[in-house]
Amino acid sequence: MHAHRWRLDGHVALITGGSWGIGLATARELMALGAQVLLVARDGDRLAEVVIELSDEFPDVDCATFAADLSRSEERAALFDWVDDRCQGLSLLINNAGTNSPQLAPDYDEAEWRAIMELNLAVPFELCRAAYPLLKQHAQSAIVNVGSVSGLTHVRTGAAYGMSKAALHQLTRNLACEWAKDGIRVNSVAPWYIRTRRTSPVLSDADYYDEVVARTPSGRIGEPEEVAAAIAFLCLPAANYITGECIAVDGGFLHFGF
């Protein structure tokens, strides 16, 4: 048994959107596997609560937080200055932060759809580029981008969200090929409906909820921990020959025909 292949001891993971939902579940998953985590989100007060929770759960693993609006280039620069100042390196990057405003395509004003593209696509691209010098210094680095089934097929999330996630999946493939020589693996996950704060308003509509479940072979909504498990697997040394891939965490949704 090569137990180390299923552990992340010695790794440092930067997780965006780390204060709630999939990001927080991913922090727990990676810390349970031995990784130190650096959580980034806009709400500093919430991050302070999270670091207390996680430190209580995992007293032997380091957890640190940084409050930033990642859509601002100066705050991204400050984030990586902070990472550098910690002198612990970086081996894992989880691009989880995102946003949406579902509308019909003609109804968006330009600022609305550009804001979606900025946070869902431009920010992960810039974070990957900023992290690259650090990631290539580690023997087993990995990036996991949190995409969506909406980047692979039509769902009712609006064109702007769908095209941002489709582009994020393509970025995953491009960087996987470009950076393989540097020992950096790049993969993505594509969740369907997951039970989070963001999805709770739409899923509170009983008719819509029933329709979603009816289109999901597993017959239920997914949990953040199930996405986190897929992300963690893609970070593990055991997944060292997997790059450029997208794992759908969707209860079979993408494969369900008529």
Q: Is the pLDDT score of 202 beyond 60?
A: yes
pLDDT tens, residue by residue, 98-145:
999 999 999 999 999 999 999 999 999 999 999 999 999 998 999 999
Q: What is the pLDDT of residue 3?
A: 75
Measured at the CA of 225, the angle between CA 227 and CA 117, to 5 degrees, comes to: 40
Joined together, the tokens standing for residue 243 give 């790059």
d(CA 20, CA 226): 14
d(CA 88, CA 239): 23
Q: What is the pLDDT of residue 1?
A: 52
Coil vs helix vs strand at 112: helix
Percentage of the chain surpassing pLDDT 70? 99
Q: Is-catalytic flag, 209? A: no
Arithmetic mean of pLDDT, 242-249: 98
Catalytic residue among 108, 132, 161, 241: 161
Percentage of the chain surpassing pLDDT 90? 97
Write down all domains in the chain, each with its CATH number in brackets.
3-249 (3.40.50.720)
Arithmetic mean of pLDDT, 172-201: 97
pLDDT tens, residue by residue, 81-103:
999 999 999 999 999 999 999 99
Q: pTM for the full model?
A: 0.97
d(CA 236, CA 144): 11
Burial environment of residue 111 by CB neighbours within 10 A (0 to 12, 13 to 18, 19 or more): exposed
Provide the sign of the torsion angle of the four alpha carbons 192, 195, 197, 199, taken in this order: positive
User: Which letter does DSSP use for residue 118 in this model?
Assistant: I
